[in-house]
Structure 1
Amino acid sequence: MTVRFWGVRGSIPCPGPHTVRYGGNTPCVEIQVGGSRFIFDGGTGLRVLGESLLEQMPIEAHLFFTHTHWDHIQGFPFFSPAFIKGNCFHIYGTLGPNHQTIEKRLTAQMLHPNFPVPLQVMAGNLKFHNLAVGESREIDEVTISNASLNHPGESVGYRIDWQGLTVSYLTDTEHHSGQIDPNVLKLADQADILIYDCTYTDEEYHEPGNDKIGWGHSTWQEAVKIAKAVNAKQLILFHHDPTHDDNFLDDISQKVQQAFPNSVMAQESLVLTLEPVLI
């Protein structure tokens, strides 16, 4: 099981000299298990992933969306392999506000005047699948489970299980004061890799006159609390705030290491590999 990060920022892409080491692309995480490829979210990191896939065609992959805020879908219209006949993409998402399907929301993003090329121009075989909140699906011996998270406009997190290994992808969620969200506990329980929304620090989250309460994101301090509560083996801090430059993230990394030594700040091109335990 290989986990690769193609986009690790939240809210908006932030390329520039101060974000070179961690990267400025918005969320996209790729997980390869055996011969199967799973992609989580379609931020601008999806465009970069797509360019790398052009050398491996034909491609079949499963693309799961947590929700359809811009930073999680804005790479989809620039996903080159989807425009090429012979490639196949299974696209999954829960129903959004007003019961809109993932197909309808991705289609709307690419309509005039928002975008010059409609989704229907994509020549790849796009197969859309509606997920129920709380549903689990078996795909090529991999179990993908979801649960709702605390985020404006609705969002879900995912748990990926394969041969005793677990990756938890929990981005765009705001912690609850005084207790851990039961859905977070369920999705993250005993995770080998816990990828968690750490957009803010506690100081930023509670800053007088400029707090981030109700914005739908969490802090690295809460991530550590959750990782310890679920006995996660490794914690990956994800969805970095666009105002947090490389030096700021370095400083957070040092603090997190002291609180939870087996932790890593997500950065573009980071690759993690898990081997199943043979009994």
Structure 2
Amino acid sequence: MAENFSLRCWGVRGSTPTPGQKTLRYGGETACFELRAGDALVQIDCGSGARNLGLELCCAGSRSFDLLFTHTHLDHICGLPFFKPAYDPNFSVTAWAGHFQDGTSLVDIVSRIMSPPIFPVAAKTLKAVDFKTFTAGDALPRTDDLVIKTVRLNHPGGACGYRFDYQGKSICIITDHEHGDPEIDAALPKFVQGADIMIYDAMFTDAEYERFKGWGHSTWQKAVELAQTAKVKTPVLFHHDPCRSDDELDEIGQAAQKIHPGTVVAREGMLLTP
């Protein structure tokens, strides 16, 4: 095991938060991860699950960290206005996005959702945040031993996947993504090759997919297929359909494990260690 290399899930639901009796075990918060690599902290996405992460970070004391966005659809950024460290000048948060295809910047998007009449608090109040943009496919600059590589994904408006390598171990995050783009489909197996853990967009089943083709999401069957092709040890099914109950996710997990033993269904609060 790499020293202190882990990924915690703070939100695993897709599209919209889903509180209720049928989502208690897997959770209803939207996308947010906390990655630790030695002394480094990296947050991936800032969906509704980020509120609870922010509260925990504030209890631990001020620090510097990176916040990486896979893309800027609402379910992945709706937690930012409620993310307490972003307002605290004692923190230093470098926010990155690399999926833009039209010259838009990350600060442009955040300023749109954090402005009246949509939200009463303006983006300029995020005193701790420095917004930066890169191009999917670039490696992100680091001064430590954590290596962060990126890849373009297939999603309306664009999306970016991430690979984190640390002390011989690797964690990949591939969401939001729809299989079917020949160029991207050809690149992904190499990108995730040999990963210890791969988070993958498994919003639909193969039986459901034809009804939602073009929505920008994949299936649990494609997650398992990619894991087998690329020799991924632990595929983690993620971005659960907001209509999917805990019992239905249990069934999907059981079916996936029969094909690829060790497959995991992402659960809010889950800690993954390679």
TM class, shorter-length: over 0.9
Structure 2 counterpart SS, 1:98: coil
Q: For 1:80, which of 84, 88, 106 is the aligned residue?
A: 84
Q: RMSD across aligned C-alpha pairs, in angstroms?
A: 1.5
Which of 37, 46, 51 aligns to 1:47? It is: 51
Deviation at 1:265, TM superposition (A): 0.4
Could you tell me which amino acid in structure 2 is paired with residue 130 of structure 1? T
Q: Could you tell me whether the CA contact under 8 Å between 2:99 and 2:160 is conserved in 1?
A: no
Amino acid at match of 1:129: K
2:173 alignment partner, SS class: strand
Q: Is the 8 A contact 1:63 1:89 kept in 2?
A: yes
Shift of 1:193: 0.3
Task: Tell whether the 8 Å contact from 1:157 to 1:187 is kept in structure 2 after alignment.
Answer: no
Deviations 1:182-235 (A, max 9, x none): 2322321111101000000111113xxxx0111110000111100000000111
Residue 111 of structure 2 is matched in structure 1 by 107
Pairing 1:106-185 to 2, within 5 Å after superposition: 106-124=110-128, 126-139=129-142, 140-176=144-180, 181-185=185-189
Please give the TM-score of this superposition, normalised by the length of structure 2. Answer: 0.94
Whether the 8 Å CA contact 1:28–1:43 is kept in 2: the answer is: yes
Q: Name the % identity.
A: 40
Q: What does 1:48-63 align with in structure 2 at a 5 Å threshold?
A: 48-63=52-67
d(CA) in 1 for partners of 2:127 and 2:183? 47
* CA distance in structure 2 between the aligned counterparts of 1:106 and 1:185, rounded to whole angstroms: 32
Q: Structure 2 unaligned runs (5+)?
A: none
Aligned length: 269
Q: Normalising by structure 1, what TM-score?
A: 0.93
1:200 alignment partner AA: F
Cα distance between partner residues in 1 of 2:219 and 2:268: 20
Q: Matched residue of 2:133: which SS?
A: strand
Contact map agreement 1:43 1:70 (CA 8 A) in 2: yes
Native 8 Å contact 2:44 2:68 kept in 1: yes
Sort the Cα spacing of 1:120 and 1:230 in 2 relative to 1 into closer, same or farther, 3 A.
same
Q: Is the 8 A contact 2:13 2:241 kept in 1?
A: yes
Distance 2:226 2:273 in 1: 22
Instruction: Measure, in 1, the Cα distance between the counterparts of 2:79 and 2:207.
Output: 31
Q: 1:180 to 1:81 in 2, by over 3 A?
A: closer
For the Cα contact (< 8 Å) 1:95–1:102, is it kept in 2? no
Distance of aligned partners of 1:105 and 1:260 in 2 relative to their CA distance in 1, 3 Å threshold: same
Q: Give the secondary structure class of the aligned counterpart of 1:55.
A: helix
Instruction: Summarize the Cα distance change of 1:180–1:60 in structure 2 as closer, same or farther, 3 Å threshold.
Output: closer
Displacement over 4 Å in runs of 4+:
177-180
What code does the residue aligned with 1:245 have?
Answer: S
Letter in 1 for 2:112: A
Query: Aligned partner of 2:223: which letter?
Result: A
Match of 1:22 in 2: 26
Task: Please show how residues 215-230 of structure 1 align to structure 2 within 5 Å.
Answer: 215-230=215-230
1:93 matched to 2:136? The reply is no
1:251 aligned to 2:251? Answer: yes
Q: Are the equivalent residues in 2 in contact too, given 1:149–1:183 (CA < 8 A)?
A: no
Which residue type is aligned with residue 121 of structure 2?
V
Contact 1:21 1:246 in 2 (8 A): yes
